[in-house]
Amino acid sequence: MLALEQELDIETTREKLAAFLNIIGLYMTEYSAALDLEHKGSQLRLDIRNLTVVADTMDGPVPLYRMGSGENWVGYHVLSHLALHKWFRQKARPVPGFVIFDQPSQAHYPPERDADGSLEGLADADRIAVLQLFKLVADAAEELAPVMQIIVMDHADLKHEWFETAIVERWRWGNKLVPEEWVQ
């Protein structure tokens, strides 16, 4: 009975949650080093009461909604998902072993500027940011393989070997996500 009472103890539960969130925040902070986001270098954490990302800075906490641009929002969301899934995989939690990112480059590379997926039309800073974001995702996929799959649907087409080898399907040449023969 004592073991069961300990498992149900609210203070023990809070301490465990705080420890787990600290570890996830550490992963977020480590992943953030790969991106050039606002508040880079700050300790990151998930605020589960407000369901947001917070950067703890020397001037105090900065929640995601005060972090500026779409680039920051996308970057912090991506690294948060990667950190959560890393923890889920390490703890063998019953969470599906995949995550899908839909157009994470959109903050830098809107579809109306898409010709062939090339980054040539982008300013240098945008091109670098898209490359960094995709490299972070590729590195995380390699780190968490084979227990985690990361699916990215995007129009960006980077000319790097690591990117090319990760592509399973290019949808822009007549292929569709749901093949016609499946629709009846």
What are the residue ranges spanned by the domains of the chain? 2-169
- Which two three-digit tokens encode residue 133? 């974001």
- Which two three-digit tokens encode residue 70? 């779409």
Any residues with CB less than 8 A from the CB of 91 and at least 6 apart, and which? none
The pLDDT confidence band at residue 118, using thresholds 50, 70 and 90, is: low
**pTM of structure:** 0.85
Q: Is the pLDDT of residue 55 over 80?
A: yes
What gap in Å lies between CA 24 and CA 87, rounded to an integer?
7
Model confidence over 21-42: pLDDT tens digits?
999 999 999 999 999 999 988 9
Model confidence over 173-184: pLDDT tens digits?
667 777 788 887
Pairing of strands 60-63, 43-47: unpaired
- Which two three-digit tokens encode residue 142? 């390699």
* CATH architecture assigned to 2-169: 3-Layer(aba) Sandwich (3.40)
**Sign, CA torsion 92/151/63/132:** positive
How many CB atoms sit inside 10 A of residue 73's CB?
Answer: 16
Any residues with CB less than 8 A from the CB of 165 and at least 6 apart, and which? none
